[in-house]
Every structure is written in C-alpha cells, then in structure tokens.
Amino acid sequence: MSGVSLTILGATGSVGSQTLDLIARHPGRWRVEALTANSDVDGLAAAARATGARYAAIGDARAYGALKAALAGTGTEVAAGADAVREAGAREAEIVLTAIVGAAGLAPTLAAVARGARLAIANKETLVCAGPVVRAAARASGSVLLPVDSEHNAIFQVFDHAAPQRVRKVVLTASGGPFRQWDRAAMGQASVKDACNHPVWSMGAKISIDSATLMNKGLELIEAEQLFDVGPDRLDVIVHPQSVVHSMVEYVDGSVLAQMGTPDMRIPIAYALAWPERVETPCARLDLAAIGNLSFEAPDLERFPALALAWAALRAGGSAPCILNAANEVAVAAFIAGQVGFLDIADIVAAVLDRLGSAPLEGLEAVLAADSAARRTTEAVVKERAR
C-alpha cells in the first residue's frame, strides 16, 4: 500500500477524530497501521473500517468481544487491554500521533519513541510526567518530537531550532477560559457545564475544565520547557481571548514572531502529520479585518492559582510536574463526579504537592511510582474535602 504509515493512539477523542477527518480528505497520503481507543467500541470499529487499519486495540479488556464482532471479516487484527494499546505504539508506523488523555498514554508513547518513530504529541501529560525520560529515549533512537497542541505547534513553527540561544523568551497564549471575567465567589458556584463551556475551542470535558482553571496552560508551560529546552526564566504566559495568535517567540534583537490562524485543531494536526511539508486543510481562513481587534492581558494568578502551582512545579523539577498532573487528573474527575467544587481542584493539587514534595525521576518505573503515589494521596485528600 502507498502512503506514509500512521498510528493514532486515542482515535475516537477530539484530536483523533479530527485527524481521521484530515486522512479522509487526503486519500493515499497516509496509511493507517493502528488505532486505539479506551472504551468506545463503536467509534473505534467505525474508524478502523473507514481507514482499513491493520490493528485496532481497545483499552478496556472487557470490550474485546464486542470489538472483535464489530470488525469481523475486515482483516483488522483486534486486541484489548493496556498491553495491547502499548503494542499499537510499538508497531511499525512512520508517524505515531499520541492523543490519549492523561498518563495512560505514557507507555504506548514511549514504545513509539524507543523505535525511532516520528511522534506527533497531542498528549501533553507524556512530557509533563516524563519529559526527561522521553527526551533521552528520543535522542537514543533518533525520534523526532512534533507538538500538536496549538500553542506548542505555533512555537515550533517560529522557533530558531538551529540557534536557540537567539531566543529571549517563549510566550504561550491562553484564551482565559470561560471564567476569565468571573470573580472567585462566582467560580465557587460553577457547575461542570459552566466549566466545559469554553468560549473558543470545542474539547473534551477534562481539557475544558483544565482550561477553566488555567491548569491546562500550566501543563503547557512544563511541556514547552521540555520541548524547547529554554528554561523556566525564558517562558511566559499571556491571556489572548480571541485565540488568533497561538503563541510567540521573542528574539534577542527585540523581534517577536507569532504564528496566527483560526482556532481549528486541524491546522496544527496537519502540520505535524505532513512536516516538513504542508497540506491543504478545510479550515476557515483568518480574516483580521472581520476580527477587528486582538487583545492581551496578564493572567490573574490569584483567581487562577493552578497556573501558579504549575510554575512552582516546573521550577521544582523532579517528580513535582508528575505529581501535579496526577493530582489534577484525580481532582478534576472528582469535580465532574460532584464530589468537590470547582475551586477545590487547585486547593487539592496544592495539598498533594505539599504532602509529597519532589524527588528525582530516573526511568519509567520512577515516573509510574510517582504517578501512583500522587493518585493515592489525591484520592485521600478528595475524601477529606468531599461534599
């Protein structure tokens, strides 16, 4: 078969679905090797049938029979469970797009990096939790790391990779989320629906809530430090409600280069999949005259303490970013379940960071141990604070 071989880890989520849309628009350019999903049997089966995927893995082992039946007669190899998802990353594909939400994407992502695949990263937790481990594996294998997050993809496009010493500052933009103009009292009464009502982007519940707390931007700061190796002092965040400027790079001569575009994730996905080329997308073209004005403001760390927690974890290093991420995942899940309030999310994360501190991380086992300890501790804190 012709085309560049491609695996999608997390094929039924928002990023995975938009990736499949781009594949369908460019028949013959990419050939799908493997697809994974956590529990969406119908979505995974439909995607495997549409793309002719050679391998389909469902994370929920109990769903094996249903997936097997759904793909009967297609020739697609079917598997289930965490090891099966990891196998998807290890299979021979030139590009692996990793879009599994949370730390669950770490093992299959590392499997792809270890064999030298080009990695299109839409799972920020991979670099937040295990950045040094992933980077070391990439150096050893020759794997190329290409960010899919709109902010990091924007930086990648305007960053001087040949001479990073010329970069003075990397500036990530943030929309400000749905609560940008809410006071703390109002946020304290916010519902899950309120938190998921993002003013610009259409995303899943977890990342939408992270955008509402600004934890998403904090995780992106940590990811940017790993991707571009500029250090915490050369990173900054600015709130930009229109989400037209996706991020900026300031140079030592005072020049600032920005990547701009309509807020459509298919633009950075297409860039990562086609790199170093570019391909057509169906995205709306940027009309600055229609937009009229672009505004910017400093983030409010008092109303959005999650961003300050991320800054602190970034500077602490070691296991702190991993603990931050795991604690946030558990706290957000508790908020979705109605166990805690919106403002409790950052408070819970802060309590867990205080209890566990930071320790050196060497290898995947240490990362997984830190992640597990953080989750156990966070569950205990959630019980203490449960409504």
What is the C-alpha to C-alpha distance for residues 12 and 46, in angstroms, rounded to an integer? Answer: 10
Contact assessment for residue 170 and residue 236, using Cβ atoms and an 8 Å cutoff: yes
Q: How confident is the model at residue 64 (pLDDT cuts 50, 70, 90)?
A: very high
- Of 361, 59, 365, 37, the C-alpha closest to 222 is 361
Q: How far does Cα 250 stand from its chain's mean position?
A: 24
DSSP secondary structure code for residue 363 in this structure: S
Contact assessment for residue 227 and residue 147, using Cβ atoms and an 8 Å cutoff: yes
Token pair belonging to 178: 């749905």
Largest CA distance in the chain: 61
What is the C-alpha to C-alpha distance for residues 33 and 55, in angstroms, rounded to an integer? Answer: 6
Q: Does pLDDT of 377 surpass 60?
A: yes
Provide DSSP, 251-274. Answer: ETTS-EEEEE--S-THHHHHHHHH
**Which class for 253: exposed (0-12), middle (13-18), buried (19 or more C-beta within 10 A)?**
exposed
The backbone region for 115, taken as left when phi is positive above 0, alpha when psi lies in -120 to 50, beta otherwise, is: alpha
What is the C-alpha to C-alpha distance for residues 387 and 382, in angstroms, rounded to an integer? Answer: 9
Residue 169, CA distances (Å) to 56, 146, 225, 229, 230 in order: 42, 20, 11, 11, 8
- Ordered by where they begin, the domains of the chain are 4-147 (3.40.50.720)
Please give the helix or strand (H or E) that residue 324 lies within, else none.
Answer: helix 320-336
What is the C-alpha to C-alpha distance for residues 209 and 344, in angstroms, rounded to an integer? Answer: 13
Contact assessment for residue 268 and residue 148, using Cβ atoms and an 8 Å cutoff: yes
Contact assessment for residue 217 and residue 239, using Cβ atoms and an 8 Å cutoff: no
Q: Does pLDDT of 1 surpass 70?
A: no
pLDDT tens per residue across span 90-139: 999 999 999 987 777 888 999 999 999 999 999 877 899 889 889 999 99
Q: 10 Å Cβ neighbour count for 252?
A: 10
What is the C-alpha to C-alpha distance for residues 229 and 104, in angstroms, rounded to an integer? Answer: 25
* 24 Cβ neighbours under 8 A, 6+ residues apart: 50
Residue 82 pLDDT: 94
For helices 364-385 and 106-114, what crossing angle results, to 10°?
Answer: 170
- What pairs with residue 257 in β-bridges? 249
- What pairs with residue 145 in β-bridges? 119
Residue 29, CA distances (Å) to 32, 46, 174, 212 in order: 10, 20, 33, 37
The strand pair at 95-98 and 77-80 is best described as unpaired
User: In percent, how much of the chain has pLDDT > 70?
Assistant: 99
User: In percent, how much of the chain has pLDDT > 90?
Assistant: 88
Residue 329 pLDDT: 93
pLDDT tens per residue across span 333-347: 999 999 999 999 999
What are the φ and ψ backbone dihedral angles of 24, each rounded to 5 degrees? -65, -30
What is the C-alpha to C-alpha distance for residues 87 and 23, in angstroms, rounded to an integer? Answer: 22
pLDDT tens per residue across span 175-222: 999 999 999 999 999 999 999 988 777 677 888 999 999 999 999 999
Token pair belonging to 52: 């002719």
The strand pair at 245-251 and 167-174 is best described as antiparallel
Mean pLDDT, the chain, rounded, equals 94
Report H helices in 283-319: 288-291, 305-316
Contact assessment for residue 34 and residue 108, using Cβ atoms and an 8 Å cutoff: no
- Of 158, 157, 147, 154, the C-alpha closest to 255 is 158
Residue 202 pLDDT: 66
